[in-house]
Amino acid sequence: MNILGLIVEYNPFHNGHFYHMQESKKAAKADVTIAVMSGTFLQRGEPALLPKWERARMALEAGADLVVELPYVYSSQKASTFANGAVSILDMLGAAHLCFGSEDGKIEPFYNAIKQISQNEQSYSTSIKQYMNQGMSYPKALSLSFETINALKGELADLTKPNNILGFQYVSSILEQGSLMKAHTIQRTSAGYHDEALPSGDIASATSLRKAIFSGNETLKEIKPYVPESTYRILSGWSKEGNPFLSWERYFPYLQYNVLSMSGKELSEIYEVEEGLENRLKSSIKESSSFQELMERLKTKRYTWTRLQRMCVHVLTRTTKRQMEEAVNGERCPFIRVLGMNPSGQRYLGSIKKNLKIPLITNVHSFEHPALSLDLKAANIYAMGFPKQKRITRLKAEYATPPVRVGYEE
């Protein structure tokens, strides 16, 4: 069987995601499609728009066969760690193909880039350190250092582009883990990753869709042309039931409480709080009345917005460096948690279950691990973003919600 793996967030699932999924299936000639999806907090350091169960349903109704969770210890991380965790899950689930979206649209430039860096590893590493000593952010230092060793103009992936950066890490992880997965890439069409305005066509970025949802228009009709019917139905149903769409502003009071109630030393022990950032965070949050204002005060040339948001996520969940180290025991994920499936996905899972080298979880009561403990803690914090009358239900959801099932006869 040809098993296709996708690494996703679907925040929310839109027409561009649908295009990518369909083209990926064609490229891999897929019999089964597995999506590894981030849970409560995402790679850019943001809370998910709506819970993982609803996003898993979006994926299944759009054509995925099996959706499994990328744990917090990977989903809220820099690109390389994010990729390592997701690739390891797909590899252990027997995926023969991994297909990602990119600005380049061709897979060869990614392998060329990896080879070029490997051949110039010492000068590349030295260059990164020099740029960072000048006060530049890590991603900027990587990009500029890559340009200094790029002797194959046009033949290497452009590592200044966000999807190319993730794709580069996916391919690197496949090679580093010795996986037999074959990498493919589909060129992104129309909307750019960070585009904030809704376009004239029918493919919009998730960023622009979230901005429209939070615009205060009290309607989802504005985004209807840009999402599959199933996504629109799920979003509309969620809203009609009185549920909120989650953003950082709902968590700002809790973040503010954590920062102000912790000592500088306690803050410095939180994961990703480095180089005196605890002092900058404490002083900035006292002067801020919103998360947006806090971020504008925190932002510097050295630290990207995304890097600072991820730090804030870890402060929000009070995840320490030690806890993260204990939870990430090596590059491979220590368990697989199923979020949803259709009959094809269930059959495939049944056929490989006995041969899996790590536990398969459908019920969190049945397994203990430091990484799972962080997932549960993150889910509890995520629930605090809901109105009081909804919180009890959301706090129970992490323990009581079974995998989503789509395509079964009633």
Residues making up the annotated binding site for ATP are 7-20, 101, 163, 188
* CA 101/CA 103 separation, integer angstroms: 7
* Number of residues that this document lists for the chain: 410
173-186 burial: b if 16+ Cβ within 10 Å, else e: bbeeeebebebbbb
**Backbone φ and ψ of 256, nearest 5°:** -60, -45
SS3 percent helix, strand, coil of the chain, rounded to 5, is 55, 10, 35
Q: How far apart are CA 51 and CA 40, in angstroms?
A: 7
Residue labelled with tokens 């690197």: 172
SS (H, E, C) 29-51: CCCEEEEEEECCECCCCCECCCC
* Residue 132 one-letter amino acid: M
Q: Report the alpha-carbon distance of residue 202 to residue 260 in Å, rounded.
A: 45
Cα dihedral 360, 364, 365, 368 sign: positive
Rg, the chain, Cα only: 21
Cis, peptide link before residue 47, omega less than 30° from 0: no
H or E element, residue 341: strand 336-341
Euclidean distance between CA atoms 17 and 251, whole angstroms: 28
* Burial category of 76 from C-beta neighbours within 10 Å (exposed 0-12, middle 13-18, buried 19 and up): buried
